[in-house]
Amino acid sequence: MTLDAATVAALAQQLDDCASNARDTLKITDAHPAMDWDDAYAVQDAMRARQIGRGARLVGYKAGLTSHAKMRQMGVDTPVFGYLLDVHALPDGAACKAAELIHPKVEPEIVFVLGRELKGPGCHIGAVLAATEFVIPGIEVIDSRYRDFKFDLKSVIADNTSAARFVVGGRPLPVSGLDLRTAGVVLERNGEAVAFGAGAAVLGHPAAAVAMLANHLAARGESIAAGSLVLSGGITEAVAVKAGDNVTLRLQEAGSTSLRFV
């Protein structure tokens, strides 16, 4: 750690305020260039504690930057992890208020719902599948608090990996007998297919992202509780959206989920 507790708290407040007021900021490493990975996750943890302190509930986690398309889009080379709160969740087909966001984009994701606790270290794809109750389609709405989505990995980790909203829906698919690598997704904006791919785009197998998350959390003394949702990461590049757009994600065999931006 290079940051003291007061600086970590101040940065968490800065990013939390930006998210609450749909206001952007410069990436925090501009002012704190020596920040390390522990600092970045400490700021994320402090922001989570602030939001839970206001009454929000932890409902799961997300892996981000898990596909080559996303890594290329953002110019980075490693996944990042964040948390999901109930206040981030929207009902299937709901309206998502664009005015509450800075510059939203959507990502098509395969979402794991765990029937059992998942704990690292040493977590692997088999353990993830054994602990998974079902998968469902999910749209993640990301909204970096950094001006023009310009950030580095430490800044984006501190900013809870751009988490803003998410929706899940469709038909729950048990993973037994399913090959998630070849599960196809189609993301439509206003009825037009704008991005498509298959599960293997996420680290070769989307369960690999969940295993990485469990191992990451274990190093920090945490596990993924039974009943948690895990967004395994965007299968394609993120797609920009604005008020008036309708977005639908179709996951092979699992139906669809959608959002309306108003």
188 binds Mg ion (CB under 5 A): no
- Give exposure, 197-228, as e/b (b: 16+ Cβ within 10 Å): bbbbbbbebbbbbbbbbbebbbeeeeebeeeb
Q: Decide: is 238 part of the binding site for ligand 0L1 (CB under 6 A).
A: yes
| Residues within window 209-238 making contact with Mg ion, judged by CB under 5 A | 234
User: Which partner from the list ligand 0L1, Mg ion, none does 206 bind, CB cut-off 5 to 8 Å by kind?
Assistant: none
Nearer CB in complex with ligand 0L1: 5/26? 26
27 binding ligand 0L1? (CB under 6 A): no
CB atoms within 10 A of CB 72: 11
- For residue 121, whether the previous peptide bond is cis, meaning omega lies within 30 degrees of 0, is yes
In SS3 terms, the chain reads as CCCCHHHHHHHHHHHHHHHHHCCCECCHHHCCCCCCHHHHHHHHHHHHHHHHHCCCCEEEEEEECCEHHHHHHHCCCCCEEEEEEHHHEECCCCEECHHHCCCCEEEEEEEEEECCCECCCCCCHHHHHHHEEEEEEEEEEECCCEHHHCCCHHHHHHCHHHEEEEEECCCCECCCCCCCCCCEEEEEECCEEEEEEEHHHECCCHHHHHHHHHHHHHCCCCCECCCCEEECCCCCCCEECCCCCEEEEEECCCCEEEEEEC
Q: Which of residues 117-156 bind ligand 0L1 (CB under 6 A)?
A: 140, 142, 144, 149, 156
The only residue of 19, 43, 65, 128 in contact with ligand 0L1, by rule CB under 6 A? 65
Question: 158 or 238, CB closer to ligand 0L1?
Answer: 238
Contact between 161 and ligand 0L1 per CB under 6 A: yes
Q: Does 74 help bind ligand 0L1 (rule: CB under 6 A)? A: yes
By C-beta, is 68 or 171 nearer to ligand 0L1?
Answer: 68
Residue selected from 60, 108, 199, 234 as contacting ligand 0L1 according to rule CB under 6 A = 234
Give min distance, CB of 6 to ligand 0L1, in A.
26
Q: How far is the CB of 185 from Mg ion (least distance, A)?
A: 13
Q: Give me the 192-231 binding string for ligand 0L1, x by CB under 6 A, dash otherwise.
A: ----------------------------------------
Question: Does position 64 bind ligand 0L1 by CB under 6 A?
Answer: yes
Residue 237, interface with ligand 0L1 (CB under 6 A)? no
Contact residues for ligand 0L1 (CB under 6 A)?
Answer: 62, 64-65, 70, 74, 80, 107, 140, 142, 144, 149, 156, 161-162, 233-234, 238
Contact residues for Mg ion (CB under 5 A)?
Answer: 64, 107, 140, 234
